[in-house]
Each structure stands twice: as structure tokens, then as C-alpha cells.
Amino acid sequence: MSPAAGDATSASAPLSLSGKRVLVTGGAGFLGAPVSRLLERGGAAEVTVPRSSRHDLTDTSAVAELFESARPDIVLHLAAEVGGIGANRDNPGRFFYANMAMGLNMIEEARRRGVEKFVQVGTVCSYPKFTPVPFSESSLWDGYPEETNAPYGVAKKALLVMLAAYREQYDFPGIFLMPTNLYGPRDNFDPSSSHVIPALIRKCEEARLEGAASITCWGTGSASREFLYVEDCAEAIVAATERYESPEPVNIGVGKEITIRELVELIAEVTDFNGEIEWDTSKPDGQPRRVLDTARAESEIGFHAATSFEHGLGATVDWFREHLGAGERARAR
């Protein structure tokens, strides 16, 4: 039995969103925005989306003030400080503190206020470095996470323990979801903090516009990853909010992997970059393989990702070109 295990099951009646006040931290962000839209369409009476400029979730008093004004029935905690391998290497202390502090404050205040449901969005980065594939939720505690993102992954996993402890002592209705790597329109394309897909789209597109002969990518290209379209993830989160009650964590993914080398070649093709692809093997690959066992999500909340990778990748490239590519095109003239 994992540290999250308990007596609760997911067999209770679905939670209706109709007429509920819902608080969504990170609700204006890449994942949070589509989640908030789905909640509104599902009949929520009010969806409160706090902004970090007004509410510092690492500050206990700011969180208490937020709950006082929002008076939520349901809380979805999506807010996080996160980035790619480089950002994780540069900010291990900040990523641990911020994610730990935000989660601690949000869960405790939700307990104090007696919310009906608390949904914590975790991360696939919490899994051990050498987890057998596909990653099963039962393997979550079988080792230490991959070093470059361990502080972030451990901070998120600690919140699973907190939810289990609060469920045992206070009968607190919290659930924990672990999405795989996300991608899609409105992603973070900042080269200093972006994840692999937006970083590669920007790299290939800029190289194409500049007529560069080659691009350089980190690592060997041998590591594999799984990617979930952001709108599909939003559907899963809302479905779990309505239907899932168990303390056991749930993987949210597609159950398919692609190597980074294959990913780079595919993005180069989609962006029409025809130059050479070089590999800087002095840089880390990160976790060797990453693909999720999605059986629990399918059986418990009926989730199956609907968007093909090719379609989602094309939509992401199109969005980048329309919204962020104008400056690059202008400089290339």
C-alpha cells in the first residue's frame, strides 16, 4: 500500500459543478485557462482566478485573504513554478520552496475553510529516475527522481503525502493528479525557461527564418518523453474533479513515447527547417525514458486523450507563428 492509500474509494456519486464557486490557482495560465473555461461550461456559478501580482501563494496571509474573498466550494491548485532542464538546474531552491510553500498554504487553508473538494495537480517529474516503463502509480515511491528536476518533483510529491495525512486525520477530500509533459498553443516559448517542445519549435523556426545551416540540441537525443495536448489534460482534470475521490494518485497521459531525436526531426519537418541537427552531448538528457500507464485514468474517470500528436504539434506551431513569430519574421527581412 502506498503512502497515499486509505479507505476512501472513487465509487461515490459524481460531484456536480452546477452552482459551485471554484477557485483555480494558475487559472490564467497555459493549463489553467482551458480548465477554467471547462468549469464555466460545466455550470460553475463562479470561477475565481487569482493573479500572482495580487496574491502571493507562498504567503500564508495572502492565501487566507484569497479564500476569504473567493469563498470557494471547490479548489483546483494548478499554480506552479517550473521550467525545462536548464531552468530546473538554475533554480532548484526556488522551485522547491515555491511549490512546497504554495501547496502547504493552499491545502491548509482549504482544510480550515471546509471545502468540498481539493484537486492538486502534481507532476510526472516526481517519479524515480529509473522507473520501469510504462510508469505505474505503484512505482512512485521506488526511488529518487532524476537529479535535474528532483527538487520540483519531490516538492510536488510531498503534497501527495500531505493530502493523505489530511484525509486520514481530518477527512479532507483531496485528490492528486500527475500529468505528463504538456504542449499546445499558448505554451511558454521563452528559451530560458521553456520545456522541450516550445523550445524546439522556437529554435527550428528562428533557424529557418535566419537561414541557419544547423541547430544544436541538448544531450544525445536518446531519452524518450510522452506528450499530452493541453486541452486534453484540461478535460482530464475537470473529469477527475467531478468523478474521482480516491487518495491514490492518477497518471494523466497518452501512454505513448517518442525519443527526443525523433521529436526534433518531426518538429524540423513541421516547421520546414532543412538544416543539420547537431547534438551537444555535454548537456544532460534528463530522465532516460518517460511514458505513463494510463489505465487508472481510463477506468476511474473515463479519460482517453483525443488529440493526435501530429495534429496538436501542427496547432502549436501555427499558434507560435501567428502570435510570437512576427518579431522573428521582421528581423529576418
pLDDT at 331 over 90: no
Q: Look at residue 6 in the predicted model and tell me its pLDDT.
A: 47
Angle between helices 92-113 and 150-170 (to 10 degrees): 20
152 is a catalytic site residue = yes
Contacts of 311 (CB under 8 A, 6+ apart): none
Catalytic member of 127, 152, 166, 244: 152
pLDDT tens per residue across span 84-134: 778 888 999 999 999 999 999 999 999 999 999 999 999 999 999 999 999
CA distance 195 to 156: 18
pLDDT for position 82: 82
Per-residue pLDDT, 96:
97
Dihedrals phi, psi of 288, to nearest 5 degrees: -60, -45
Q: 61: how many CB neighbours lie within 10 A of its CB?
A: 9
Band (pLDDT 50/70/90 cuts) for residue 244 is: very high
Band of pLDDT at residue 287, cut at 50, 70 and 90: confident
Instruction: Give the pLDDT band (50/70/90) at residue 83.
Output: confident
- Asked if pLDDT for residue 9 goes beyond 70, the answer is no
Residue 2 above 80 pLDDT?
Answer: no
Distance of CA 18 to the CA centre of its chain: 26
What CA–CA distance (Å, rounded) separates 74 from 106?
12
Instruction: Report how far residue 198's alpha carbon sits from residue 188's, in angstroms, rounded to the nearest whole number.
Output: 7
DSSP, res 187: -
Identify the burial level of 296 via C-beta atoms within 10 angstroms of its C-beta, where 0-12 means exposed, 13-18 middle and 19 or more buried. Answer: buried
* Dihedral pair phi/psi, residue 119, rounded to 5°: -115, 115
Beta strand ranges found along the chain (DSSP E): 21-25, 46-48, 74-77, 117-121, 174-179, 181-183, 214-218, 224-225, 227-229, 250-252, 258-259, 276-280
Residue 141 has pLDDT above 70, yes or no: yes
pLDDT in tens, 191-226: 888 889 999 999 999 999 999 999 999 999 999 999
Backbone angles phi, psi at 123, to 5 degrees: -155, 150
Does 21-183+228-252 carry CATH code 3.40.50.720?
yes
Helix axes 196-210, 309-323, angle to 10 degrees: 60
145-176 burial, b at 16+ Cβ within 10 Å, e below that, comes to bbebbbbbbbbbbbbbebbbbbbeeeebbbbb
So where are the chain's domains? 21-183+228-252
Quick one: pLDDT at residue 333?
A: 42
The percentage of the chain sitting over the pLDDT mark of 90, rounded to a whole number, equals: 85
Q: CB neighbours of 278 closer than 8 A, spacing ≥ 6?
A: 214, 215, 216, 217
Give the pLDDT score at 87.
83
Burial class (CB in 10 A: 0-12, 13-18, 19+), 278: exposed
| Number of helices and strands in the chain (H, E) | 11, 12
d(C-alpha 170, C-alpha 174), whole Å: 11
**Mean pLDDT within 142-147:** 95
Which pLDDT does position 52 carry in this prediction? 81
- Computed over every residue of the chain, the mean pLDDT equals 93
Q: Cell 482549504 belongs to which residue?
A: 110
pLDDT band at 10 (very low <50, low <70, confident <90, very high): very low
pLDDT at 325: 64
Tell me the three cell numbers of residue 305.
486523450
